[in-house]
Amino acid sequence: MAEPSKKDEQPVGKVNVSKADGAGARLEDEEVAAIEKPVQRGEPILQVRDLKKHFPLTQGILFKKQIGAVKAVDGVSFDLYQGETLGIVGESGCGKSTVAKLLMNLEQATAGHIFYKGQDITKLSGRALKAVRRNIQMVFQDPYTSLNPRMTVGDIIGEPFDIHPEVAPKGDRRRRVQELLDVVGLNPEYINRYPHQFSGGQRQRIGIARGLALNPEIIICDEPVSALDVSVQAQVVNLMERLQDEFNLSYIFIAHDLSIVRHISDRVGVMYLGQMAEIGTDEEIYDHPTHPYTQALLSAVPVPDPDAREHRERIILTGDVPSPANPPSGCRFRTRCWKAQEKCATEVPVLAVPERFKGTDSPAAHESACHFAEEKDVVHAA
Amino acid sequence: MTTIQKVSAVPSPRDAGEDGGPLLEVRDLHVEFHTRDGVVKAVNGVNYSVNAGETLAVLGESGSGKSVTAQAIMGILDMPPAKIPQGEIRFRGQDMLTMSAEERRKIRGRRISMIFQDALSSLNPVLSVGYQLGEMFRVHQGLSKKEAKTRAVELMDRVKIPAAKARVDDYPHQFSGGMRQRIMIAMALALEPDLIIADEPTTALDVTVQAQVMDLLAELQREYNMGLILITHDLGVVADVADKIAVMYAGRIVEQAPVHDLYKRPAHPYTRGLLDSIPRLDHKGQELFAIKGLPPNLLRIPSGCAFNPRCPKAQDICRTQIPELEPVTERDGSELPGRAAACHFWKETIHG
């Protein structure tokens, strides 16, 4: 295992504070202090502003020349409030997993800011960054590949303590790991077993225990239940809800299963091709969607009620998601939208409360990036 | 649309052996895998039937034996390690398990064909899609390369792949996931089979694309009056397209019912548990209902009813005696057509 000091080394050119002088150290102290400060329930804990991530497309072997960029995330803004669950939905390739990686600081953002308790984590380094990393943890999609098959469960869950020894002193770790196993509903005696001895649902619990190890404030869940069987999904979702109450966590819950997202989320953001199409409370999004993409997405979800199949109106989108390397001009959804007009090709719609709903207290008055936003209930349509 | 009419005008070999019986009938099928750790009993006595034009959905979790049953029907199980010690698979009255390999080969692809879950790994990456689609015509109908390619373009048109003519020489990786799945469907449809087995055809796809693919499949099924066996774990998809449902658990069918009845009144605690674990609008903020425990290890299936360790209704009898798949009736004893359940306490489950 690498020494903790090496672990948080920053890429060259990103150091914004010279640690040699005293002023820099003091600044870092202030940053750490800000990060350690608790946030009241309902206050924003994470603020994302105009976040962008472009992956360069290069040509040539020796002299690489950039010929374009895949705009995986292209201007995403949202807030995460303390104690809430923000669901993010969208088709594959819309950039939701890239957002997760950016929030974890696993990828360097091309532009934009991520404020964690007021500190921009894209610019932090050293101790302050390490403190942020402790507080934002992740649960991955595939419980079969996200656990090292050569490490025991105890080593997997205890590994975060090697990097952050202040959380659990050395002699105390085994007990702490057993406690965590108990919290996620596994037998604490399993500490010396290997991942292959567990089923998919149990492995996902191990992944969750690892995420909880450092007492984080935010957990980013990237499709945490989509690899699990139906009967096991419900168990894991229940566990996550219980842990949220118990440890006062904030979740970002990324998934493509819209019914699970609705169940667990307080607010939901819908992404399309690297941008946020619509964001609002779960009721606003599911019962009063105003963006055509959200409406199409919701109407495509099969409803587990055979009586509904004759009466339901379904919006079937034609074609595929355009390439993020060369997105359509104006509104990105216009190539598949049935409402598209000339304005959509020339003017980029901003994510804001639509003009016609402004000032009303109708549930349709939530942020939606469409020139022709109008309410349409597709879930209950008879 | 004109291509569709032209193609369906070609006389199909469908009228041969039409006797009113079911298209496909599986009777008491058993499949085991002999491994170093012991005998894995993947399928333990499955019975179901499909008629022409009908959609049977086989619902179950991973390891319930739903895919193995389908592979046994297609005759694509690796034997060994797999073994079929018992059972019959009757296609138009003929038992396919006693046929010669050559006879089965004639049925496979021409009369029964299959759509696989993962289109990217089911298509050959080094051959163009046109060549792979044309293979059906070259092998089964002896068409020339050129004719086969023309037919391949027609097929691609029929599954609504845009610019089929231009894309016929493209390779699988050049298509998106939804388009690849359409190519799989086109391949299965090529010889206008009587029965299509679709093994999780949309699981790897996004919901918007899933809707497109399921619509296409339903449309083509109506057009050719094909039987369809849809294998899935998605209760939403099943509600949308199925006519009847067979729920599998640990290699057995635990409940069989027409689609509307199953969702309204499940007769087996496992089915009820699955339906209850779907998140519902009116239950938001509450705990989801979860079936406790894990699906059984097929090396050590629990004695008695395989579901008993997870079942809220389990009694002593459930631990010792395997419940048979029995017809389910109304409270007054009147028949419920097409319904059956394998539970000692189905009466309590459906009426209680």
Name all domains of chain B by residue range, CATH numbers in brackets: 2-9+22-242 (3.40.50.300), 247-351 (no CATH)
Nearest to A229 among B62, B212, B215 (CB): B62
Domain extents in chain A: 45-58+68-265, 292-368
Residue contact A230–B233, C-beta within 8 A: yes
Contact at 8 Å (CB) between A38 and A28?
A: no
Kind plus residue range of the DSSP H or E element containing B338:
strand B335-341
Q: Does A311 touch chain B (CB under 8 A)?
A: no
Crossing angle between the packed helical segments A153-163 and A200-212, to the nearest 10 degrees: 20
Residue contact A306–B237, C-beta within 8 A: no
Contact at 8 Å (CB) between A320 and B178?
A: yes
Which residues, in sequence order, are bridge partners of residue A55?
A70
Does residue A6 carry a pLDDT above 70? Answer: no
Contact at 8 Å (CB) between A174 and A142?
A: no
CATH of A45-58+68-265, one of 3.40.50.300, 3.30.70.3040, 3.40.50.970, 3.40.50.720: 3.40.50.300
Nearest CA in chain A to B243: A306
Mean pLDDT across A61-68: 80
pLDDT for A79 equals 93
pLDDT in tens, A330-345: 899 988 888 888 888 8
Question: Are β-strands A250-254 and A218-222 bridged in parallel, bridged antiparallel, or unpaired?
Answer: parallel
Does residue A36 carry a pLDDT above 80? Answer: no
Give dist(CA A239, CA A226) in Å, integer.
15
Nearest to B290 among A238, A262, A301 (CB): A238
Per-residue confidence at A11, pLDDT binned at 50, 70, 90?
very low
Distance between alpha carbon A62 and the CA centroid of its chain, in Å? 36
Q: Which two tokens stand for residue B201?
A: 């055809």
Which residues in B lie closer than 8 A to residue A238 (C-beta atoms)?
Answer: 287-288, 290
Q: Which of A249-258, A315-324, B26-35, B260-269 has the lowest mean pLDDT?
A: A315-324
Does residue A15 carry a pLDDT above 50? Answer: no
Strand-by-strand arrangement of the B82-91 sheet: B38-50, B24-35, B82-91, B94-95
CB pairs < 8 Å spanning A and B: 112
Q: Which of A53-57, A186-190, B124-128, B278-282 has the lowest mean pLDDT?
A: B278-282
**ipTM, 2 decimals?**
0.76
Per-residue confidence at A4, pLDDT binned at 50, 70, 90?
very low
Phi and psi at A263, nearest 5°, equal -65, -40
Report for A67-71, A293-297, B177-181: range of highest mean pLDDT = A293-297
Local mean pLDDT, 10-residue blocks, chain B (352 residues): 35 45 88 87 89 90 86 85 88 86 85 84 89 88 88 85 84 84 86 88 79 84 89 86 90 90 88 85 72 83 88 86 86 82 85 76
Give dist(CA A89, CA A199) in Å, integer.
27
Does residue A21 carry a pLDDT above 70? Answer: no
Residue A118, phi-psi category: left (phi > 0), alpha (psi -120 to 50), beta (remainder): left
Does residue A1 carry a pLDDT above 60? Answer: no
Contact at 8 Å (CB) between B98 and B60?
A: no
Identify the contact set of chain B against chain A, taking CB-CB distances under 8 A.
61-62, 162, 176-179, 206-212, 214-215, 233-240, 242, 259-260, 263, 273-275, 277-279, 281, 283-284, 287-292, 294-295
Given 3-state DSSP classes, what are the helix, strand and coil percentages for chain A, each rounded to the nearest 5? 35, 20, 45
Nearest to A234 among B179, B211, B290 (CB): B290
Q: Does A104 touch chain B (CB under 8 A)?
A: no
Per-residue confidence at A136, pLDDT binned at 50, 70, 90?
very high
Kind plus residue range of the DSSP H or E element containing B262:
helix B259-264
Per-residue confidence at A23, pLDDT binned at 50, 70, 90?
low
Nearest CA in chain B to A322: B176
Nearest CA in chain B to A186: B293
pLDDT in tens, A262-285: 889 999 999 999 999 999 998 889
| Integer angstrom CA distances of residue A5 from A129, A161, B36, B194 | 12, 14, 48, 67
Which residues, in sequence order, are bridge partners of residue B110?
none
Top residue of B181, B288, B298 to mutate, by most chain A CBs within 10 Å, is B288
B310: three-class secondary structure by DSSP:
helix
Give dist(CA B197, CA B73) in Å, integer.
9
Single-letter residue type at A52: K
Q: What is the DSSP letter of A128?
A: H
Residue A64, phi-psi category: left (phi > 0), alpha (psi -120 to 50), beta (remainder): beta
Q: Does A234 touch chain B (CB under 8 A)?
A: yes
Residue B138, class by beta-carbon neighbours within 10 Å (0-12 exposed, 13-18 middle, 19+ buried)? middle
Distance between alpha carbon B251 and the CA centroid of its chain, in Å? 14
Single-letter residue type at A315: I
Contact at 8 Å (CB) between B63 and B31?
A: no
Distance between alpha carbon B30 and the CA centroid of its chain, in Å? 17
Across B185-211, b (16+ Cβ under 10 Å) vs e yields: bbbbbbbbbbbbbbbbbbebbbbbbbb
Q: How many CB atoms lie within 10 A of CB B314?
A: 17
Kind plus residue range of the DSSP H or E element containing B197:
strand B195-199
Per-residue confidence at A22, pLDDT binned at 50, 70, 90?
low
Bond before B162 cis per omega within 30 degrees: no
Contact at 8 Å (CB) between B183 and B161?
A: yes
Q: Does A258 touch chain B (CB under 8 A)?
A: yes
Strand-by-strand arrangement of the A111-116 sheet: A65-81, A44-59, A111-116, A119-120
pLDDT for A49 equals 92
